[in-house]
Amino acid sequence: MAAVSDPVDLGAAWRSARPEPPPTRFHQVHGANIRVDPSGTRATRVESFAHGVCFSREPLAPGQVFLVEIEEKELGWCGHLRLGLTALDPATLAAVPEFSLPDLVSLGHTWVFAITRHHNRVPREDRPEAEALAPSRPPALLVEPYLCIEQFRIPRDRLVGRSRPGLYSHLLDQLYELNVLPPTARRSRLGVLFCPRPDGTADMHIVINGEDMGPSARGLPAAQPLYAVVDVFASTKSVRLVQLEYGLPSLQTLCRLVIQRSVVHRLAIDGLHLPKGLKDFCKYE
């Protein structure tokens, strides 16, 4: 059943255009228990709970989010996905460490954290506690089309996890939007990026379902190539990369936004007179 909603602000999308970085892919160098699919966008740990360290294929651009969605979980293990950055070139590693924490971090020039709800928010020296404790946004439905992190504006649309299409998907989606589910729940989306600072260093930020967790580390060498690190650890079994649009949004994306905001829930998309490919894109992306 269709319902009229507020129009999409297409002008904001055009005003926010910036150069489009290349698509993210997983590096061919990874842990012994990891299998990367031929597209380079899905990483699965095939056995045990360790040897699941993965890297981005290319260094990240400033403000570029290396965004993964948790696809599969595995019961019986204690611990979850770990995320961060490294200035080490994966191709130069003699062997990929068994764990990102502490093994990879102990090699130096690496900043990795276990994903939790309130983790590793580093305050500034001139604001020792207020910044660390302040929430990045009020506890309300996400209405802003962009997530602002320091000098960067990132389209929020794909940063937030989404449930599988179903009768109650419109209610479950709100739980992802409100970020009240466990951060490592299935279909949660987690990202890492760095923001350069005037002094030549950079801050590392971790994003959980469209919410900036604040600076997780400071003083990263902004002039050096920085690769994303994803440790598919313990109860996290498989992740896939989610691509973001930083420049002008595609016509496909704009159509999807209009359609999604004009229906009560995603099952209603099946009743629209649209090509099947566009329906699937609106339901699953």
Q: Taking 70 as the threshold, does the pLDDT of residue 18 lie above it?
A: no
The secondary structure of the chain as a DSSP string is -B---PPP-HHHHHHT--PPPPPP-B-S---TTEEE-TTS-EEEE-SSSS--EEEBSSPPPTT--EEEEEEEE-TT-----EEEEESS-GGG-SS--S-IIIIIHHTSSEEEEE--SS---PPBTTBTTHHHHS-SS-SS----SEEEETTEEEE-TTTS--PPSSTTHHHHHHHHHHT-S-TTSTT-EEEEEEEE-TTSEEEEEEEETTEEEEEEEEEEETTS--EEEEE--TTEEEEEEE----SSPPHHHHHHHHHHTTBSSGGGGGGSSS-HHHHHHHHH-
Residue 12, pLDDT above cutoff 50? no
CA torsion sign, 197 to 201 to 207 to 212? negative
Within-domain flag for 132: no
Which tens digit of pLDDT belongs to each residue from 24-43?
999 999 999 999 999 999 99
Average pLDDT over every residue of 61-68 = 97
Q: Is 85 inside a domain boundary?
A: yes
The CATH code of the domain that includes 88 is 2.60.120.920
Shared domain check, 260 and 215: no
Please tell me whether residues 92 and 159 are part of one structural domain: yes
Closest CA to 246 of 67, 38, 37: 67
pLDDT, one tens digit per residue, over 193-214 is 999 999 999 999 999 999 999 9
How large a percentage of the chain has pLDDT more than 70?
A: 77
Name residues whose C-beta falls within 8 Å of residue 31's C-beta, 6 or more positions apart in sequence: 45, 50, 51, 52, 53, 54, 96, 98, 232
pLDDT digits (tens, 9 = 90+) for 100-150: 999 999 999 999 999 975 555 565 555 554 444 444 444 444 457 789 999
In a domain, 275, yes or no: yes
Q: Are residues 34 and 85 in the same domain?
A: yes
Q: How many domains are contained in the chain?
A: 2
Same domain assignment for residues 153 and 272: no
For residues 179 and 253, membership in a common domain is answered with no
Question: Can you give the pLDDT at residue 1?
Answer: 38
Are 35 and 88 in the same domain?
A: yes
Q: Is residue 9 part of a domain?
A: no
Looking at the domain assignment, is residue 64 inside a domain?
yes
Does pLDDT of 242 surpass 90? yes
Query: Per residue in 140-162, is it b (16+ CB within 10 Å) or e — as a string?
Result: eebeebebebbebbbbbbbbbbb
> Residues 190, 271: one domain?
no
pLDDT at residue number 13 = 40
The domain boundary, picked from 227, 242, 257, lies at 242
Share of the chain above pLDDT 90, in %: 56
> How buried is residue 178: exposed, middle or buried, by Cβ count under 10 Å (0-12/13-18/19+)?
middle
User: Are residue 73 and residue 175 in the same domain, yes or no?
Assistant: yes
- 157 and 253 assigned to the same domain: no
Q: Which of 93, 82, 113, 103 is nearest to 204 (CA)?
A: 113
34 in a structural domain? yes
For residue 170, tell me if it sits in a domain: yes
The enclosing domain of 262 has a CATH number of 1.10.750
Domain residues for the domain of 257 are 248-284
Are residues 252 and 238 part of one domain? no
Residue 2: what pLDDT? 38
Mean pLDDT of 215-237: 97
As to burial, measured by CB atoms within 10 angstroms (0-12 exposed, 13-18 middle, 19+ buried), residue 212 is: buried
Q: Does position 3 have pLDDT exceeding 70, yes or no?
A: no
| Mean predicted lDDT score pLDDT of the chain | 83
DSSP secondary structure string for all residues of 105-137: HHTSSEEEEE--SS---PPBTTBTTHHHHS-SS
Q: Are residues 172 and 265 in the same domain?
A: no
Exposed/middle/buried for residue 19 (C-beta within 10 Å: 0-12, 13-18, 19+): exposed
**Mean pLDDT across 267-274:** 76
The per-residue pLDDT for 45 is: 98
Quote the pLDDT of residue 164: 73
Residues 170 and 102 in one domain: yes
19 in any annotated domain: no
